[in-house]
Structures are given as structure tokens and as C-alpha cells.
Amino acid sequence: MPTHSFTLLVDGADLLSYRALDALYEAGCDDATFGKRGPIQYADFNREKATLAEAIITALGDIEGAIDGARVVRIEPDEIVSLSAIARRTGRSRESIRLLSEGLRGPGGFPAPERWPDARTTVWHWAEVAEWFEQRLGEPVARSEEANVIAALNGLLEARRHFAQLPAGPKRKTAAFARKDANLSKLLVA
């Protein structure tokens, strides 16, 4: 069975207390290392499961089931990437990626940026970039399927966070809309 490596960012309850670490171990997180970077708690996993999705979903459930108040808020490696991050993940120089992104080199058709956080920074979805490298350049830099799994799960986690912050009226309307889709409905009640 393959081993999948990923990081979960966790908010809420302190994961680093002895009691929490014992509970996490008992819950099946013996394949994770827990720590903190500034105010952000994380769990680095190397989990053996048939698929990346199964590995992430079981790890998420283990953490949230073991520690009251713990909420997984994000999965890394992040799917939003800058030119520099694309360069690191592909083993190319930043300038090479810039030229590809602007269509000045390569076959063209580089994915459109996701957004511009500021006037000097442009970011892309890693899944789209990885797929472009595979299809247009024949360079499998990372499994675009795995990048899409992380992007989809991060989208669900973000939807859960925003739904929890809605006032009662909009929350009811959103929940009524979500009931039309059983999978979305399950997410919002979690």
C-alpha cells in the first residue's frame, strides 16, 4: 500500500499537550508528527492508504474525533502557487516558469492565473499547472489527480469554515440550498 505525505493545519484545541498527544496516538495518528509554526498548529502525516483522498480524510477524522474543538482548516502542500513555488516543484528556474507563463517559451496555453493578491504577485492553481506540464510538455511533475484531491478537500474545508460563521438566516437558506446535494449537505452539518 502506498504511503502518502501531507500536512494538516489545525485550529482550536491545543494539540501539543501530553493529553492531546496521547489521545491522537490512540486515535490512530501514530503516523504523524505534530508541531507549531508561529500560531499555526500542524500535523505532518505519512499515512499508508490506497489513495491520497482516503489518507487525508481518515487523518482529518482521527484528529477531529480525538480532540474536542480541534478543526482541520487546510491541507498542504497548498494548491495555490506562485512562480517561485512552481519553479521549486518543477525543478526549473523562476525565469523559465515566467517565460512559459507569458507564452514566450514552450507550446503556449499556460493556465490562467487564479488571482493577483497584489500588483506584483500572481498565483495559480497547482493542479492546473501540473496538468499543463503533463499534457503540453510531457513532464509529469506531480500527479495532477492528487493536486485536485487536495484542492477539492481544501475547498470543502473552507466552505465548512464560512458556513459556520454565517448568521442564522443566511445559514438556513444556505442549508436549504445544500440539501439538494447530499454530499454538500453532509459537509455543512459536520
Give me the residue spans of the domains in the chain. 1-76, 80-142, 146-190
Q: Where are the beta strands (DSSP E) in 38-183?
A: 40-48, 71-76, 80-81, 115-118, 121-125
CATH topology classification for 80-142:
Arc Repressor Mutant, subunit A (1.10.10)
CATH class of 1-76: alpha beta
| Predicted pLDDT at 132 | 92
Q: Where are the beta strands (DSSP E) in 119-177?
A: 121-125
Q: Does 97 or 141 have the greater pLDDT score?
A: 97
| pLDDT beyond 70 at 109 | yes
Give mean pLDDT, residues 145-152: 84
113-146 tens-digit pLDDT: 988 877 788 899 888 898 899 899 988 876 667 8
Grid coordinates in use for 154? Answer: 481544501
pLDDT tens figures, 2-43: 999 999 999 999 999 999 999 999 999 999 999 999 999 999
Domain 1-76 matches domain 80-142 at the CATH topology level: no
Can you read off the three cell numbers belonging to residue 30? 501514530
pLDDT at 166: 75
pTM of the complete model? 0.74
How high is the pLDDT of residue 179?
Answer: 64
Q: How far apart are the C-alpha atoms of 138 and 140, rounded to whole Å?
A: 6
Highest mean pLDDT among 42-46, 151-155, 173-177: 42-46
Which pLDDT value is given to residue 17?
A: 95
What is the Cα–Cα distance from 157 to 134, expressed in whole angstroms? 28
Residues belonging to the chain? 190
